[in-house]
Amino acid sequence: MSTGKRNLMGAPVMGIVGATKYYGPVQALKAVSLNIRRGQVHAVVGENGAGKSTLISIAAGAVRPDFAVIRVGGKEIKRPTAKKLHRAGVAVTFQHPELAEEMTVMENLQLAAPGLTSREEAARLLASVASDQHAMSLDARVRDLTLAQFHIIEIAGAIASKPKVLFFDEPTEPFQQADIDKFFKLIRQLRDEGVAIVYVSHRLNEIREIADHITVLRDGMSIDSRPASRITTDEIVTLIAGRPLDQVFPRKAKDVGEIRLEVENLSGPGFTNISFAARAGEIVGVTGVEGEGQRAFLRTIAGLEKRSAGSVRIAGKPVEGTSAAATREAGVGFVTDDRHEEGLFLTLKLRENVGIGALDRISTAGVVNRKRDLALTADVMSRLGVYTGYRIKDDDDTRASELSGGNQQKLLIGREIAGEPKVIIIDEPTKGVDVGARAEIYEHLRKLADSGVAVVVSSSDGIELEGLCDRVCVFARGQIVKELEGENLTDAAITEANLTATVSRADGPVRTGEDDSPLRRILAADRFPAAVLAVLTAIVLLGTASISEYFLSPFNIETMLTFLSILAFLSIAQLGTIIVGRIDLSVGALAGFVVVLASFLTPDGAPVGETIVGVILILALTAAFGVVQGWLITWLNIPAIVVTLATFIGLQGMSLVLRPQAAGTITDAISDVAQSTWLGMPAGFIAMMVTVIAFEFILFRTRLGRRLRAVGSNPTGAAQVGIRVNWHIMLAFVLSGLLTGIAGLILAGQVGIGSPATGIDYTLMSITAVVLGGTRIAGGRGSVISVLTGAALVQSLSSASSFINQDSAVHLIVLGAVTLVAATFFSVARRDRERTG
**CATH code of 429's domain:** 3.40.50.300
Residue 395: pLDDT band (50, 70, 90) is: very low
Mean pLDDT of all residues in 97-106:
87
**641 shares its domain with 692:** yes
State the pLDDT at residue 389: 53
Q: What is residue 471's three-state secondary structure? A: strand
CA distances from 418 to 98, 378, 582, 728 (A): 38, 11, 42, 48
Alpha helices in 137-200 (DSSP H): 147-160, 177-192
Encode burial over 317-341: b for 16+ CB neighbours within 10 A, e otherwise. Answer: eebeebeeeebbebbbbbbbbebee
| Per-residue pLDDT tens digits for 802-829 | 776 656 666 667 777 777 776 676 666 5
- Residue 399 has a CB neighbour count (10 Å cut-off) of 15
Rg of the chain, C-alpha, whole Å = 31
Q: What is the mean pLDDT of residues 404-408?
A: 75
> Does the structure show a pLDDT above 70 at 505?
no
Q: At what angle do helices 703-713 and 105-112 cross, to 10 degrees?
A: 100
Q: Look up residue 636 and give its DSSP letter.
A: S
| Amino acid letter, 611 | T
Where residue 523 falls among pLDDT bands split at 50, 70, 90? low
Residues 698 and 745 in one domain: yes
Residues 239 and 266 in one domain: no
More confident site: 436 or 108: 108
Which residue in 532, 514, 515, 512 sits closest to 523, CA to CA? 532
**Lowest-confidence segment of 145-154, 552-561, 675-684, 688-697 by average pLDDT:** 675-684
Question: Looking at residues 251-260, what average pLDDT do you find?
Answer: 86
- The reported pLDDT for the residue numbered 520 is 61
Domain assignment of residue 239, given as a range: 38-63+81-244
Percent over 90 (pLDDT), the chain:
36
What pLDDT sits at residue 313? 92
pLDDT band at 516 (very low <50, low <70, confident <90, very high): low
Question: CA 90, CA 82: separation in Å to the nearest integer?
Answer: 9
Whether residues 239 and 291 share a domain: the answer is no
Examine the domain organization and report whether 622 and 474 are in the same domain: no
User: How many domains is the chain built from?
Assistant: 3
Q: Please tell me whether residues 214 and 339 are part of one structural domain.
A: no
Residue 432, SS3 per DSSP: coil
pLDDT at 835: 38
Residues 719 and 725: beta-carbon distance below 8 Å? yes
Asked if 428 and 494 sit in the same domain, the reply is: yes
The answer to whether 710 and 111 have CB atoms below 8 angstroms apart is yes
| Number of other CB atoms surrounding residue 809 within 10 Å | 9
Q: Are residues 466 and 586 in the same domain?
A: no
Is pLDDT above 80 for 173?
A: no
Domain end residue (candidates: 500, 517, 549): 500
What are the pLDDT digits (tens) for 428-465?
Answer: 888 766 556 677 888 889 988 999 999 999 987 788 88
Residue 3 — very low, low, confident or very high, per pLDDT cuts 50/70/90? Answer: very low
C-alpha torsion angle, residues 196, 201, 204, 207 (rounded to 10): -10
Distance CA 648, CA 753 (A): 21
Query: How many percent of the chain have pLDDT more than 70?
Result: 88
Select from 500, 531, 553 the last residue of a domain. 500
Q: What is the DSSP letter of 292?
A: S
Segment 619-652, tens digit of pLDDT: 999 999 999 999 999 989 999 999 999 999 999 9
What secondary structure letter does DSSP report for 341?
I
C-beta of residue 44 within 8 angstroms of C-beta of residue 52: yes
Judge whether 518 lies within some domain: no
Shared domain for 280 and 233, answered yes or no, is no
Averaged confidence pLDDT in the chain: 84
The SS3 assignment for 507 reads coil
Domain-ending residue, one of 244, 276, 304: 244
DSSP state of 400: G
Report whether 742 contacts 683 (CB < 8 A). Answer: no
Residues 313-356 have pLDDT tens digits of 998 899 887 788 888 888 898 988 877 777 788 778 888 888 87
Q: What's the pLDDT score for residue 837?
A: 37
Cβ atoms of residues 540 and 533 within 8 Å? no
On whether both 296 and 413 belong to a single domain, the answer is yes
Q: Tell me what pLDDT residue 553 has.
A: 86
The model's pLDDT over 713-771, given as tens digits with 9 standing for 90+, comes to 888 878 877 788 999 999 999 999 999 999 999 999 999 999 988 888 899 999 999 98
Do 232 and 276 fall within a single domain? no
Helix (H, G, I), strand (E, B) or coil at 419: coil
**Structural contact between residues 328 and 304, judged by C-beta atoms closer than 8 angstroms:** no
pLDDT at position 833: 41
Are 777 and 558 contacting, i.e. CB atoms less than 8 angstroms apart?
A: no
Please check whether residue 369 lies inside any domain of the structure. Answer: yes
Note whether residue 19 is domain-resident.
no
Q: What's the gap between Cα 517 and its chain centre?
A: 28
Give the length of the chain.
Answer: 837
The answer to whether 135 and 512 are in contact (CB under 8 A) is yes
| 244: confidence class by pLDDT, cuts 50, 70, 90 | low
pLDDT confidence band for 499 (50 / 70 / 90): low
**Residue 528, domain member (yes or no):** no
Instruction: Kindly tell me if the per-residue pLDDT of 394 is higher than 70.
Output: no
Count the Cβ atoms, other than its own, within 10 Å of residue 532: 19
* Residue of 730, 750, 586, 744 lying closest to 667 (CA atoms): 750
Neighbours of 223 (CB within 10 A): 16
Number of C-beta neighbours around residue 556 at 10 A: 15
**pLDDT of res. 2:** 43
Is 277 part of any domain? yes
Q: Which of 82-96, 344-358, 578-592, 704-718 has the highest mean pLDDT?
A: 578-592
pLDDT mean over 411-418: 85
Q: How confident is the model at residue 518 (pLDDT cuts 50, 70, 90)?
A: low
More confident position, 204 or 414: 414
- Predicted confidence at residue 5, as pLDDT, reads 44
Report if residue 205 sits inside a domain: yes
What average pLDDT score do residues 791-797 get?
90
Per-residue pLDDT at 71 exceeds 80: yes
For residue 107, what pLDDT band results from cuts at 50, 70 and 90? very high
Note whether residue 531 is domain-resident.
Answer: no
Classified as helix, coil or strand, 158 is: helix
Residue 224 falls within a domain, yes or no?
yes
Q: Is the pLDDT of residue 200 over 80?
A: yes
Assess whether pLDDT exceeds 60 at residue 378. Answer: yes
269 and 398 share a domain?
A: yes
Least confident of 350-354, 694-698, 748-752, 781-785: 350-354
